[in-house]
Amino acid sequence: MNVCFYDFNLAELQSKMIEWGEPVFRAKQIWQFIYKKYYLNPQLWNTLPKELRNRISEEFSFLPVTEIKNIQSEDKQTEKVLFQLQDGKKIEAVLMKYYERNTICISTQAGCAMNCAFCATGQMGFIRNLTAGEIVGQVLFFAEKLKSAEKKITNVVVMGMGEPFHNYENVMKAVDIINDPDGFQFGERRITISTVGIIPMIEKFTKAKRQINLAVSLHAPTSKIRDLIIPANKKYPLEQLIETCRIYTEKTGRRITFEYALINGFNDSPEEAVLLAKLLKGMLCHVNLIPLNNTSKFDQKGSTRERTNDFKMMLDKYGIACSIRLKRGVDIGAGCGQLLTQA
């Protein structure tokens, strides 16, 4: 297989041009053809010599992800795409449309090693990490698709298949590539990375002091409850995770989002809402309440509307900012925790 072009950042592409005996400015020309005009075929780069275009075509791949299936939700607001990678592995990604917003949910791994009880991706097991280029390739796919409708990506959420902080270096390189001011120029504040709570990587992320939004999948107010659905809690206990998150907010001044999947009769009582409020008291945070989406290997159900509203009211009472996530794409298996492919 040819090297994926999108695995290169601009500095690496400049080094490649020098290695080939080409003027260094060619790199920026190529970069802007790709990331500003979305000309993903080198033969369209008409200001470059034909010999260089041919060499690039021969040595690089520009299709790290290939669409093999596309499903739209009944309301046409959500679109799920099944991609095949160059080695035959498969991933899913999602486009969600909210009025003027076009949010994409992209994957960072094929499968996932976290094995969260209610998550279809975790139920697949871990297959492999994606390269930075395979992550960028998903973004470019949707950017090119929206361009044909005269629209743009407004938000990127790294919440698809996989645990992003188990693939930290490739994820951050991909973010740097789409953030590059000479190229795609996608602002960090419009990017959200979600983690189940890999403490060493949150600490590393804190030190980096990036403007990227951080979301943590919490799903329980105590370690006793969290142990039952989040195996990673045994390695990274809730109490330590919360302290790490508190340090993150204090050192960066950025608000953190806690994702909380409400499971009927399991973690959604008013008493558990009080425990959650006390756990998060004083932290710069927001709780995103998500009535659980069904998956085939988890037999419990999402909370009723009444229990969801009662949980939110209790958090409101204790001064914890919170909202209830709108269900999007659940009818096509594109909701939170539902992404699933065959290995």
Rounded to the nearest integer, the mean pLDDT of the chain is 92
In the predicted model, what is the mean pLDDT of residues 303-311? 94
Q: What's the pTM?
A: 0.93
Query: pLDDT per residue over 21-35, tens digit each?
Result: 999 999 999 999 999
- Note the pLDDT of residue 333: 46
Inter-CA distances, 139 with 65, 175, 188, 266, 300, Å? 10, 10, 14, 36, 34
Sign of CA dihedral 4, 5, 6, 12: positive
Work out the pLDDT band at 1, boundaries 50, 70, 90: low
In the predicted model, what is the mean pLDDT of residues 245-272? 96
User: Residue 85 in contact with residue 110, Cβ under 8 Å?
Assistant: yes
Tokens encoding 245:
């998150």
Residues whose CB falls within 8 Å of the CB of residue 49, separated by 6 or more in sequence, listed in order? none
Query: pLDDT per residue over 212-223, tens digit each?
Result: 999 999 999 999
Work out the pLDDT band at 252, boundaries 50, 70, 90: very high
Higher pLDDT, 271 or 332: 271
Q: Mutual orientation of helices 132-147 and 168-179 as an angle, nearest 10°?
A: 40
- Note the pLDDT of residue 295: 65
* pLDDT value at 343 more than 50: no
Residue type at position 49: P
- Note the pLDDT of residue 17: 98
In the predicted model, what is the mean pLDDT of residues 298-314? 90
Tokens encoding 237:
């206990």
- Note the pLDDT of residue 279: 97
Tokens encoding 137:
């390739």
In 199-256, which ranges are continuous DSSP H helix?
199-208, 223-226, 238-252
Query: pLDDT per residue over 72-121, tens digit each?
Result: 888 888 999 999 999 999 999 999 988 889 999 999 999 999 988 888 77
Burial 249-261 (b: 16+ CB within 10 A, else e): beebebebbbbbb
Partners of 80 in the β-ladder? 71, 94
- Note the pLDDT of residue 125: 87
Return phi, psi of residue 197, to 5°. Answer: 120, 55
HEC letters along 22-89: CCCHHHHHHHHHHHCCCCCCHHHCCCCCHHHHHHHHHHEECCCEEEEEEEECCCCCEEEEEEEECCCC
Strands 155-158 and 191-195: parallel
Closest by CA to 269, choosing from 327, 313, 316, is 313
Tokens encoding 243:
């302290």
Strands 60-61 and 3-4: parallel
Q: How far apart are CA 207 and CA 193, in angstroms?
A: 16
- Note the pLDDT of residue 338: 46
If you write DSSP's letter for every residue of 123-175 in order, what string do you get? HH-EEEEPPHHHHHHHHHHHHHHHHTTT----EEEE-SSS-GGGSHHHHHHHH
Inter-CA distances, 82 with 154, 161, 194, 219, Å? 21, 11, 21, 27
User: Residue 294 in contact with residue 335, Cβ under 8 Å?
Assistant: no
Tokens encoding 325:
């996530």
* pLDDT value at 342 more than 90: no
- Note the pLDDT of residue 23: 97
In the predicted model, what is the mean pLDDT of residues 256-260? 97
In the predicted model, what is the mean pLDDT of residues 136-163? 95
- Note the pLDDT of residue 73: 84
Cβ neighbourhood burial of 132 (10 Å; 0-12, 13-18, 19+) = buried
Residue type at position 236: Y
Domains and CATH numbers, the chain: 3-61 (1.10.150.530), 65-332 (3.20.20.70)
Query: pLDDT per residue over 178-210, tens digit each?
Result: 999 999 999 999 999 999 999 999 999 999 999
- Note the pLDDT of residue 301: 86
- Note the pLDDT of residue 244: 98
Active-site annotation, residues: 92, 336
Tokens encoding 12:
């690496």
* pLDDT value at 327 more than 70: no
